[in-house]
Amino acid sequence: MDDLKIRKTGRAGRITFTRPKALNALTHKMALAIHQALRDWSDDPEVALIVIDAEGDRAFCAGGDIAQVYRGGLEGNHQIGRDFFRDEYQMNAAIADYPKPIVAFMQGFVMGGGVGVGGHASDRIVGDTTQIAMPESTIGLIPDVGGTWLLARAPGRIGEYLMLTSDRMGPGDAIHAGFADYYLPEADWPALIARLEETGSTSVIEGQTPPPAPLADRDLSALGGANLTEIVAALEEAGDEATLKPIRRNSPLSMAAGLAMIRAARGDRRIQDSLAREYRFTYRATEMGDFIEGVRAQIIDKDRKPNWTADASDAHVAAMLASLGDEELNWEDKA
Tell me the pLDDT tens digit for each residue of 292-334.
999 999 999 999 999 999 999 999 999 999 999 999 998 765 4
Question: What domain count does the chain have?
Answer: 1
User: Average pLDDT in the 43-72 region?
Assistant: 96
* Residue 335, pLDDT score: 43
* Residue 253, pLDDT score: 98
- 332 in a structural domain: no
- 159 in a structural domain: yes
* Distance from C-alpha of 111 to C-alpha of 193, rounded to nearest angstrom: 23
* Distance from C-alpha of 3 to C-alpha of 117, rounded to nearest angstrom: 15
In 3D space, the residue among 232, 246, 289, 253 whose CA is nearest the CA of residue 85 turns out to be 289
Tell me the pLDDT tens digit for each residue of 227-254.
999 999 999 999 999 999 999 999 999 9
In 3D space, the residue among 30, 329, 310, 27 whose CA is nearest the CA of residue 142 turns out to be 310
Tell me the pLDDT tens digit for each residue of 155-198.
999 999 999 999 999 999 999 999 999 999 999 999 999 999 99
* Distance from C-alpha of 216 to C-alpha of 172, rounded to nearest angstrom: 9
Q: Which helix (H) or strand (E) segment is 283 a member of?
A: helix 271-288
* Distance from C-alpha of 294 to C-alpha of 296, rounded to nearest angstrom: 5
- 333 in a structural domain: no
- 334 in a structural domain: no
- 148 in a structural domain: yes
SS3 state of residue 269? coil
User: Average pLDDT in the 130-144 region?
Assistant: 97
The CATH number covering residue 127 comes to 3.90.226.10
Backbone angles phi, psi at 183, to 5 degrees: -105, 130
Beta strand extents in the chain (DSSP E only)? 4-9, 12-17, 49-54, 59-61, 102-106, 109-111, 123-126, 131-133, 182-183
Residue 53 pLDDT greater than 60, yes or no:
yes
* Distance from C-alpha of 206 to C-alpha of 218, rounded to nearest angstrom: 29
- 16 in a structural domain: yes
- 127-164 b/e with 16+ CB inside 10 Å = b? bebbbbbbbbbbbbbbbbbbbbbbbbbbebbbbbbbbb
- pTM attached to this predicted model: 0.96
What is the average pLDDT value for the chain, to the nearest integer? 96
* Residue 333, pLDDT score: 53
Q: Quote the percentage of the chain above a pLDDT of 70.
A: 99
- 335 in a structural domain: no
Domain range for 192: 4-327
- 226 in a structural domain: yes
Tell me the pLDDT tens digit for each residue of 256-302.
999 999 999 999 999 999 999 999 999 999 999 999 999 999 999 99
